[in-house]
Amino acid sequence: MKYVAKKVIGAIITLLVVSLLVFLAFAIIPGDPALSRLGTNATESALAAMRERMGLNKPIPVRYLLWLAGIFKGDLGTSYAYEMPVTALIADKMPITITLMIYSLILMLIISVPLGVYASYKEKTAIDRAIQIINQIIMALPPFFSGILITLVFGVGLKFFVPGGFVSIGVNPVRFFKFMFFPALAIALPKSAMILNLLYTSLNGEKKKDYVRTAYSRGNTSNAVFFGHMLKNASMPAITFIGMALADIVAGSIIIEQVFGIPGLGRILLTSIQNRDYPVVLAVIMLIALMVVVTNLAVDVIYKIVDPRIE
């Protein structure tokens, strides 16, 4: 329990540091948002009024604290470009991106864990080598290219889905989940290959450990040694890596939304970056940071459950 509390406090500190750094970064960049809103012809008094409306006239520390307090009240500021609350702007985008992430996480685990275990179980056989070769190639696929390949094969070729034909969950849940399978697969494939490789390497490393020899010396079958002793030990590096892969899934989803035309957080982040709509960029980045930190926290807790040696 103490361990979990310590990790939660650590996560909160991390989020605060992120918020401070990101806010500062956007606060000190050159350029006057009020000026770009009103154009160069604006009078000085109009500019001042606009600055006051946008909350830019106060010193940076005050602005940061106000912004931070706003977050706790559920107020993420107002978009420059759309002149509407950021919360309203991203409220319906968030579920889409989170669905995509969870979907790809599940696919990633379903693909990588059984195959990694199986390949190590069959080490040095033809099937192991075949898995290794295919795995090497998939590992080298950039997520957007795997997205394009999947579009080409399943969309253009096999016509399993209509490329660009996103349907929101409210309109048709079945078609939503059917469509989302393909972008999720595009994110999951290269990551699965990496986790497969890691699990495979760590399982093969465990085979040489002393306790495996001890287990054999007690008359265990190969299966009992493999599944009863090695699997739990080998899963620990894999858990750490899955935690890191989650961060990559977040990054991957931004790109994949672009490939499949999904109106999620990634899309709005990109448009806001191009529009220099900083309140929205800030909000989306904080949300992503929150997701990454929470998943890392979950990984730490799982790790503690699996490995008794963690203090």
Partner 1 sequence: MNRKKRSFNFILGTVLLALTLIPALIGLVWTPYDPESMDVANKLAHVSIRHIYGCDNFGRDVFSRIMSGSGITLLIAIGTVACGSIIGTIIGAFTGYFGGMVDTAIMRINDVALAFPSILLALVIISLMGSGKYQVMFALGIAFIPSYARIVRGEYKRIKNLDYVKSAKLAGAGDLRIMFVHILPNTKAVLLSSVMIGFNNAILAEAGLSFLGIGVQPPDASLGRMLSEAQAYLFTNPGYAMFPGITIVMIILGFSLLSKEIG
Partner 2 sequence: MEKLLHVEDLNIEFHDHLIPETVVYDFDLDMEPGEIVGLVGESGSGKSMSALAIAGLLSRHDMKKRGTITFNGRDILNCPRNQLRDLQGDEICIIFQEPLTSLDPVKKIGWQVEEALRIHTKLTPAERKAKALKALEDVELNDVERVYDSYPHELSGGMRQRVMIAAATIGNPMLLIADEPTTALDVTVQGQIVKLLKKINKEKNTAILFISHDLSLVSRLCDRVMVMKSGYVVESGSIKDIFENPKEEYTKKLIASIPSYDPEAGKEAEDDVILDVKDVCVSFDKKINGKNTNVKVLKNVSLKINKGEVIGLVGESGCGKSTLAKAIVGLQPIDSGSIEQHEKYPQMVFQDPYGSLNPSKKIGFILEEPLKNLTDVTEEERHKKAKEMICLVGLSEEYLERYPAELSGGQRQRVCIAQALMLGPKLLIADEPVSALDVTIQAEVLKLMQKLHEELGLSILFISHDLRVVGKMCDRVLVMKDGVIVEQGIKSDIYDDPKHEYTVSLLESAGLLKKN
Residues that bind partner 2 (CB under 8 A): 2, 209-211, 213-222, 224, 229, 232-233, 306-309, 311
Smallest distance from partner 2 to CB 215, Å: 7
Please choose which of partner 2, partner 1, none residue 296 contacts, taking the beta carbon within 5 to 8 angstroms, the exact cut-off set by kind. Answer: partner 1
Can you tell me whether residue 85 is helix, strand or coil?
strand
Pick the closer one to partner 1 by CB: 167 or 251.
251
Nearest residue (CB) to partner 2, 44 versus 311: 311
Segment near partner 1 (CB under 8 A), from 113-121, 209-217, 221-229, 253-261?
253-261
Nearest residue to 234 (alpha-carbon basis) of 261, 207, 260: 207
Nearer to partner 2, 1 or 171 (CB): 1
d(CA 243, CA 298): 8
When CB distances are held under 5 to 8 angstroms depending on the partner's kind, the choice from partner 2, partner 1, none that residue 306 binds is partner 2
| Residue 222 identity | S
Phi and psi angles of residue 232, each rounded to the nearest 5 degrees, phi first: -65, -40
155, 158, 159, 161: CA torsion to nearest 10 = -50
- Coil/strand/helix, residue 78: strand
Site for partner 1 in 229-248 (CB under 8 A): 247-248
Q: State the Cα–Cα distance between residues 284 and 146, nearest whole angstrom.
A: 25
Binding of partner 1 at residue 26 (CB under 8 A)?
A: yes
145 lies in the site for partner 1, by CB under 8 A: yes
State the CB neighbour count (10 A cutoff) for residue 62. Answer: 11
Q: What is the closest distance, in whole angstroms, from the C-beta atom of residue 265 to partner 1 in the complex?
A: 11
**Residue 35, CA distances (Å) to 32, 90, 167 in order:** 5, 26, 39
Least Cβ distance, residue 258 to partner 1 (angstroms): 6
Q: Which does 65 bind (CB under 5 to 8 A by kind): partner 1, partner 2, none?
A: none
Give the nearer residue to partner 1 in terms of CB position, either 141 or 302. Answer: 141
Name residue, tokens 């009024």. 49
Which helix or strand (DSSP H or E) is residue 219 part of? none
CB of 239 to partner 2, least distance (A): 12
Q: Is residue 288 part of the contact set for partner 1 (CB under 8 A)?
A: yes
Cα–Cα distance for residue pair 212/230, rounded to 1 Å = 7
Question: Do residues 195 and 217 lie in contact, with contact meaning Cβ atoms separated by under 8 Å?
Answer: no
Q: Among candidates 100, 267, 249, which has minimal Cα distance to 179?
A: 100
- Can you tell me the distance from the alpha carbon of 76 to that of 69, in angstroms, rounded to the nearest whole number? 9
DSSP letter for 307, please: -
The one of partner 2, partner 1, none whose footprint includes residue 163, by CB under 5 to 8 A per kind, is partner 1
The verdict on 204 binding partner 1 (CB under 8 A) reads no
213 binds, among partner 1, partner 2, none (CB under 5 to 8 A by kind): partner 2
Should residue 49 be labelled a site residue for partner 1 when binding is judged by CB under 8 A?
no
**Site residues, partner 1 (CB under 8 A):** 13-14, 17-18, 21-22, 25-26, 29, 136-137, 139-145, 148-149, 151-152, 156, 163, 247-248, 250-251, 254-255, 258-259, 269-270, 273-274, 276, 281, 285, 288-289, 292-293, 296
